[in-house]
Amino acid sequence: MRIVTVVGNRPQFVKAAAVSRPLRERHDEVLIHTGQHHDDALSAVFFRELDLPAPDHELRLGGGTNLAQTARMLTELEALLGAARADGPVDAVLVYGDTNTTLAASLVAADLGVPLAHVEAGMRSFDRRMPEERNRVVCDHLSTLLLVPTPTATANLTREGLGDKVVDVGDVVTDVTLHVHPRARERAGAWLGARDLAPGGYLLATAHRAGNVDDPARLTALVGVLEACATPERPLVLPVHPRTAARLREHGLEERLRAAPGVRLLDPVGPLDFATLLVGAAGVLTDSGGVQKEAYLAGVPCVTLRDTTEWTETVDAGWNVLVDLDAGAARAALDRPVPAERPPLYGDGRAGERVVAALERAFGGA
Ligand code: UDP
């Protein structure tokens, strides 16, 4: 098979790391990086630390509004996919998750008549105000093959009439986590100690959803939640996403947050450092999809700064609480007891191999 994979941002590099290696053992992959994230901290460090092959084509299409960015991607990806087909048959376009890159690659594949396979299909927050939700729905409905991580995703797609295209492969992020978390645990004592953090003695936070940082009132509420949860005795470490950093500066909130007792702002960190911060944390506050699940896999209680989640199993299992931007609810959620059970909800770490097997069955294979 010859597969054109299109990725563009941080969570997609993590997911592609699980699939590219087994795919390339038997097949050809053309890897296109749209550059939705293109700096070292959000891109190159992921390729280095997760052993991802270098992209065959690396564009610089980050920045701008969602629509302007997607429009630029459409033009560039149409040309690149056309060129890839001129070099030889393309059996499928492979996309991940729910970003502008996912949406643009899906529309281009559909328009050029190339079959589309979607990894992490079927996730739904049922909140169409989120660009991610719109991207997922469009991508799923244009796909030939829907590779889902959970039975919840299968049920969502079946309700939308897409059940016959679904293959439950398990979660590709689990594959990566099973490699990275043991390394993180090994280095955690020394790494955290060098940063004056005690294992189990601090909180880790991330926040970058448009719904939380683009609106000044919501952003102010977010700052309030982080301030309320941090104390000098239990500091809160926040690797700041560039979008959030820009909004904090724009609205004059960066200094306030920096000055809050116990709050420690960092630049975004690479995947190994992030995993190290995660496995040592007493709790996680986040609006990220991936981080909610990684916290579950690490056995760290999570507080989600949204009122919906796609990873509903983490909530049902008692490891995740949705508090939106309610500071009191966040503090209470952090102090709750940890559940005794943590069932294996997200696969066995071999999802990448199952993705390749499903592609082979669907598109011809070796
Ligand atoms: N991550 C990281 N460094 C950071 C913050 C996050 O390596 O400073 C990783 C995290 O482990 C997860 C992914 O980035 O694998 C999540 O990305 P993000 O929150 O940007 O995307 P989402 O999951 O919300 O789509």
* Residue 74 CB coordination number (10 Å): 17
pTM: 0.97
Q: Please tell me the distance between residue 77's alpha carbon and the centre of ligand 1 in angstroms.
A: 25
Cβ(268) to ligand 1 under 6 A?
A: yes
Cβ(116) to ligand 1 under 6 A?
A: no
Using CB atoms within 10 A of its CB, is residue 163 exposed (0-12), middle (13-18) or buried (19+)? middle
**244 contacts 210 by C-beta, under 8 angstroms:** no
User: Which of 37, 38, 118, 208 is flagged as catalytic?
Assistant: 208
Cβ(274) to ligand 1 under 6 A?
A: yes
Residue whose CA is closest, atom 24 of ligand 1?
A: 288
Residue whose CA is closest, atom 14 of ligand 1?
A: 11
User: Which of 189, 182, 194, 173 is closest to 280 using CA atoms?
Assistant: 189
Cβ(206) to ligand 1 under 6 A?
A: yes
C-alpha span between 272 and 276 (Å, rounded): 6
C-alpha span between 282 and 336 (Å, rounded): 12
C-alpha span between 264 and 199 (Å, rounded): 16
Ligand 1 atom at minimal distance to the Cα of residue 97: 25
User: Which of 296, 295, 230 is closest to 263 using CA atoms?
Assistant: 230
Q: Please tell me the distance between residue 210's alpha carbon and the centre of ligand 1 in angstroms.
A: 15
Write out pLDDT tens, residues 48-75: 999 999 999 999 999 999 999 999 999 9
Is 57 assigned a catalytic role? no
Nearest-Å Rg of the Cα atoms of the chain is 20
Write out pLDDT tens, residues 122-180: 999 999 999 999 999 999 999 999 999 999 999 999 999 999 999 999 999 999 999 99
Q: What is the mean pLDDT of the segment spanning 106-112?
A: 98
Q: What is the mean pLDDT of the segment spanning 21-48?
A: 95
- Between the alpha carbon of residue 36 and those of residues 6, 43, 68, the distances in Å are 11, 9, 12
Cβ(269) to ligand 1 under 6 A?
A: yes
Cβ(294) to ligand 1 under 6 A?
A: yes
Write out pLDDT tens, residues 302-322: 999 999 999 999 999 999 999
Q: Please tell me the distance between residue 365's alpha carbon and the centre of ligand 1 in angstroms.
A: 32
Q: Please tell me the distance between residue 10's alpha carbon and the centre of ligand 1 in angstroms.
A: 6
In order of start, what are the domains of the chain with their CATH numbers?
Answer: 2-171+348-363 (3.40.50.2000), 175-334 (3.40.50.2000)
Please tell me the predicted confidence (pLDDT) of residue 50. Answer: 97
Please tell me the predicted confidence (pLDDT) of residue 365. Answer: 55
Cβ(14) to ligand 1 under 6 A?
A: yes
Residue whose CA is closest, atom 10 of ligand 1?
A: 291
Q: What is the mean pLDDT of the segment spanning 255-270?
A: 97
